[in-house]
Amino acid sequence: MIAHRHLWILALLAWAGTPLPADEGMWLFNHPPRRLLQERHGFEAGDAWLERLQRSCVRFNSGGSGAFVSEDGLVMSNHHVGADALAKFGDAAHDYLRDGFHARTRDEEKRCHDLELNVLMSIEDVTDRVNAAVGPGDSAAAAFRARSEAIAAIEKESLDRTGLRSDVVTLYQGGQYHLYRSKRYTDVRLVFAPEQQIAFFGGDPDNFEYPRHDLDICFFRVYEDGRPARTRDFVRWSASGAAEGELVFVAGHPGHTDRGLTVAELASLREWDYAYLLQWLCYREVNLAAWSAREEENARIARDDLLGVQNRRKARLGGLAGLLDPALFPGREADEARLRAAIRGHPELRGADAAWDRIAAAQHAIDAHALRYRLLEAAHGFRSSLFEIARTLLRAAEEREKPDGGRLSEFREASRESLELELFSARPIYDEYEIELLAQGLTWLAMRAGAGDPLVRKALAGQPPRGRAAELVRGTKVKEIEVRRRLYDGGKAAMHAARDPMIEFARLVDAEARAARDAIDVQNEIQAQAHARIAQARLALEGASQYPDATFTLRLAFGVVKGYSEDGRSVPFQTTMGGLYERWASHQGRPPYDLPQRWIDQRSRLSPPTPLNFVSTADIIGGNSGSPVVNRQGELVGIIFDGNIQSLVLDYQYTEEKARAVAVHSQGIIEALRRVYGADSLADELIRGSRAR
């Protein structure tokens, strides 16, 4: 017994003694890397510093991050994060996404149709309560229902007690559950956006590349009771900005990483998931580009969608390259073997060794349902706003008749306000674009499921995809907001009486879509339980020294401002205004290296050495777009807008050799606002932290 314990201690020390490489980590604000920061950078992350930064950060529910930058509710994010709102403002006479916008007074600030911003107020560990709901002998289906009911109850109780948005977040693939309470802002108004061409200078060729020369910024203001919100916590501006070798922090909402997945799960991503997604994204990109090329108005309507698809396609290609890296799988396999050997060496943990086999079996079952899930539940076969509205109305009527804990998660009471904000949005809907999108979706459905598939035949109803799409789009009434409200309030009876063709179409495919979702939910529960066993084993072996995978919740990353070497050449840590014009001239101003006319006209007013973009080793991923980059004093030195191509492997593993986070420099922002746009009052508000009254 003594000898066995001695061997166990040696194994524990060997495992836990392996430090995280370099400045890795997307850390929880309730579990910050205090020791790492102190040991590596001599920085003490105090409670007051962390709390101020946490409450300064903003999550865009449309996707992305931001931060309060004045006490008057001013929020800064990226142009591409604000693109959804910009596109919804547009019409045939106004293309705000392309041409930009500047409200010189508060009366000119434009209220967004359906934008919701969240500010994290508190975090509570509710793991024990969620896990206690699952009985030891429960089947996977029963366990999923019990866990869902417990989560719904926790969220509803929190919402009723605090009035704050309440979301139970799954961490460590099911090892922990935390309750995040957030303040919601839904009166959000656009203040400033530059032209898309300067925000995305270099276009798709330069996307996920470096050096970059982009002013990817956008400003909004949140209002409460018709007045600008008073925001005590905001990020103060740094006049000097980021310097080479400086320690910086990134606080934002990274969307999703897969670093905690097993080898079996990663293999599924490589062999099936990414292959499918890349085919789907390329199909959409070709079709959207062709439709956009027909008319200028088409291009305006589809611009945001096309750029989003291109961005995702390039990101997935980079992610696939990471999965195909010959070094990735052997390293992960060795890590799994080492951990499993350590588990087998201790009687209390030995049962956890079977968790990997359960995950692999569940993943095999998920893969069998994945195509149907993508086509039906994820609606790749019905890519249309009107379809999504019709399905939301249909499901809302059905789900509201169930107990809160038995509903689909998006229809629980805790999510109701956010759902209704989007459902009743006055965003523009264009019939011809809806027909195009739905026809593309139906064609994809037939291509992937087969033209002879019974559901495909029912969906097409004896017509070609475009004819069927036109019939549904032109016949539906759900594009009218008042019709949506009447149907939503009227419940199932109103839905049946409506005889709306798009609603009936959604009903036609809903049973199979739900079945695919149910099948995957059950397997996800099996995986969550298995991952929880692995997480418990890791905790025993490694201690609380690890961070969970990204979940589009607030995280803290840190790193150093520095360049890197590529193909034998040194890549500098920053680019400048002068470098922007050099790149423009070297391409003779041909798209996508053209500049807005005002940037050409105001060139002489700009100081060429002014920093424009810079890179750091901070650990970021998609969703961090718009995240503030701050220094030791908590001052804003930049704003994240991209990563370089080498950073796309960060989905699966961190490396600082070449992977870099790319940000707009605070000096470049002020220089552009003053010298190019004449936005002195906005620049003054940033520097002062308030607007002159």
Whether the pTM exceeds 0.85: the reply is yes
Tell me whether strands 188-193 and 628-630 are parallel, antiparallel or unpaired: unpaired
Q: What is the pLDDT of residue 336?
A: 93
Specify the amino acid at residue 508.
Answer: L
Phi/psi at 580 (nearest 5 deg)? -60, -50
| pLDDT value of residue 100 | 97
Which amino acid would we find at residue 619?
A: D
CA 234 centroid distance within chain? 22
Tell how far CA 39 is from the center of its chain.
31
Q: What per-residue confidence (pLDDT) applies to 539? A: 77
Tokens of 652: 């699966």
Residue with tokens 């750091």: 616
pLDDT at position 444, please? 98
Q: Are 500 and 478 in contact (CB under 8 A)?
A: yes
Dist CA 692 CA 460 (whole Å): 60
Instruction: Supply the pLDDT for residue 10.
Output: 29
User: Could you give the CA distance from residue 273 to residue 281 in angstroms, rounded to a whole number?
Assistant: 12
Q: Which residues have CB under 8 Å from 446's CB, separation 6+?
A: 453, 456, 460, 465
3 state DSSP class of 274: helix
Distance in angstroms (rounded) separating the CA atoms of residues 148 and 220? 36
Task: Encode pLDDT of 37-69 as tens digits.
Answer: 999 999 999 999 999 999 999 999 999 999 999
pLDDT at 14: 33
Q: Which of 600, 148, 118, 40 is nearest to 410 (CA)?
A: 148
Dist CA 229 CA 231 (whole Å): 6
Q: Which CATH code is given to the segment(s) 17-116+188-256+552-688?
A: 2.40.10.120
Q: Which residues in the chain are classed under CATH 2.40.10.120?
A: 17-116+188-256+552-688
Tokens 């004045």 -> residue: 70
CA angle, residues 336, 342, 344, in degrees to nearest 5:
100
Q: What angle do CA 235, 71, 66 make, to 5 degrees?
A: 45
CA 621, CA 661: separation in Å to the nearest integer? 8
Regions of the chain with pLDDT less than 70? 1-21, 543-545, 692-693
Give 117's strand partners: 60, 185
- Is 517 within 8 Å of 377 (Cβ atoms)? yes
Residue pair 90/303 in contact (Cβ under 8 Å)? The answer is no
User: How many angstroms separate the CA atoms of 620 and 643, rounded?
Assistant: 8
Parallel/antiparallel/unpaired status of strands 218-224 and 247-252: unpaired
Residue type for position 509: V
